[in-house]
Copies of this chain bind each other. A is one copy, B any other.
Amino acid sequence: MRAEIIAVGSELLTPDRIDTNSLFLTAQLNRLGIQVVRKTIVGDEPNSLQREFRAALELADVIIASGGLGPTEDDITREALAAVLQRPLVQDDEILKDIEAKFQRFGRVMPQINVKQALVPVGAAVLPNPRGTAPGLWVEDGQRIVVLMPGPPSELEPMFIEQVVPRLEARAIGERLVERALRVSGMGESAVDQAIAPIYKGYRDVQTTLLHFTGEIHVYLRQWSTDRTAAEKTLDGIVERMRLALGESLFTTKGEEMEQVVARELTWHGATIAVAESCTGGMLGERLTRQPGSSAYFLGGVISYGNELKSDWLGVSRALIEKDGAVSAEVAQAMAEGVRRRSGATLGLAVTGIAGPTGGTEEKPVGTVHIALADAEGVQQKMFRFPGDRGRIRGQATVAALDMVRRYYLHKSALKAQ
């Protein structure tokens, strides 16, 4: 089966926005063995959108359109498809009730314009949207399938996984995409490639992609195959060889987030953690609390942005800050010990550094970051020099701090094992 993805919205034709839904959709479709043969981005203009639908219906078996299902005047996707398929739009009272209920739940009355979101082309199946007002639509036209989805990823992604994937699975046939997602922290992209190239170069029919993210390198292994079991076996073999090549810098082979891995370690060891943040300003706490249920291991933290608070709230001695400066190994260690002591957590994790753009010096340039981790026995510390702008430096510092916790438990288990 061949798919075309159409992103609808004039904002996607400006310099400030790009369609990223198509990446998610492509990954999902590939997993079903459906190849994306074309992507188009069109504005909120009825004629161009109708032209797109006509062209796509000639080219693809499955057409996924995102956006343009909202209540406003520019939202015309529903109408354009109905026109192309020559199906009248009828009001679906179920949807209307549902939208009205959503507004009521937040103590508001549904504005009149939202009524159009309850319009459905005759014969279309409605894909309920618990996360927004715009329902999705599944429309079949002979052998062709057209799916209309809301634009916001927070609505599109769960709707696609829960309601579209099962329907497509029933149709898709033949080759499947088998994949593995490795993630590495603490190594550069070329270092990772040098380590694993000798391995993946040996597999012609396995597609290997390296992607660079803030503080992380992601490695994707993909193989199209009609024999799932054989493909799984091949990829698992490659993963094992890469595990040896990458060592402890490899933190997941299942595409997990770093905070998930850290959460699992803390939970497993029945440990709790508290953070002391300077240059990251709360980013570390935010990452640790992204996981549902994080209150089980995350006690809290101190954002000691000003030096006074480093002393008043964390008990870092003013003399020490005077002597070594707020960005120093000593202060990072004192912050980690301080937040651990004052929170009663098993671990205290601290970050202090210079995110820039100003504040750098000859011997402490912008990008200098000290990270310290304290436990009952003592405190370890590491200095980093991160490249990039303020945002990237803060992001890399956050990942490096989480990674220090992960490696801490790796070594703990290694010691136990001896």
A38-46, A229-237, A238-246, A263-271 - interface stretch: A38-46
A26 at the interface (CB under 8 A from B): yes
Interface stretch among A67-75, A118-126, A317-325, A372-380? Answer: A67-75
**Chain A stretch 147-200: residues in CB contact (< 8 A) with chain B:** 152, 154, 188-191, 193-194, 197
Q: Is the CB of B11 within 8 A of A209?
A: yes
For A, the interface residue count at a CB cutoff of 8 angstroms equals 108
A106 to B386, CA, bound (A): 8
Contact status A306-B313, CB under 8 Å: no
Assess whether B72 is in contact with A190, with CB atoms less than 8 Å apart: yes
Checking B277, B288, B385 against A285 with a beta-carbon cut-off of 8 angstroms, the contacting residue is B277
Q: Are B114 and A190 in contact (CB under 8 A)?
A: yes
- Across-interface contacts of A388 in B (CB, < 8 A): 131, 154
Copies in the complex: 2
Q: Which residues of B contact A210 (CB under 8 A)?
A: 70, 72, 74
Docked-complex contact A36 and B23, CB < 8 angstroms: no
Known: A11-B209, A220-B14, A342-B313. A111 touches B190 (CB 8 A): yes
Q: Are B357 and A292 in contact (CB under 8 A)?
A: yes
In the assembly, what is the distance between CA of A306 and CA of B273, in Å? 11
Contact A43 B37 (CB under 8 A): yes
For A305, list chain B residues within 8 Å (CB).
285, 289, 294-295, 298-301
Question: Which one of A138-146, A389-397, A405-413 is at the interface?
Answer: A389-397
| In the assembled complex, A286 has its CB within 8 A of some CB on chain B | yes
Is A113 in the interface zone, CB < 8 Å from B? Answer: yes
Chain B min CB distance to A100 (Å):
13
**CB neighbours of A190 from chain B (8 A):** 71-72, 111, 113-114, 133
Give chain A's interface secondary structure class: mixed
* In contact, A154 and B10 (Cβ under 8 angstroms): no
Among B40, B73, B74, B154, the residue within 8 A (CB) of A38 is: B40
Taking beta carbons and an 8 Å cutoff, which residues of A are in contact with B? 9-18, 20, 22-24, 26-27, 30, 35-45, 48, 55, 59, 70-74, 102, 105-108, 111, 113-114, 131, 133, 152, 154, 188-191, 193-194, 197, 201, 207-212, 220, 222, 275, 277, 279-286, 288-290, 292-295, 298-306, 308-309, 312-313, 342-344, 356-358, 385, 387-392, 394
Can you pick out 10 interface pairs between chain A and chain B where the beta carbons lie within 8 Å of each other? A18-B18, A38-B43, A72-B190, A105-B385, A131-B389, A133-B190, A154-B392, A275-B303, A280-B286, A301-B303
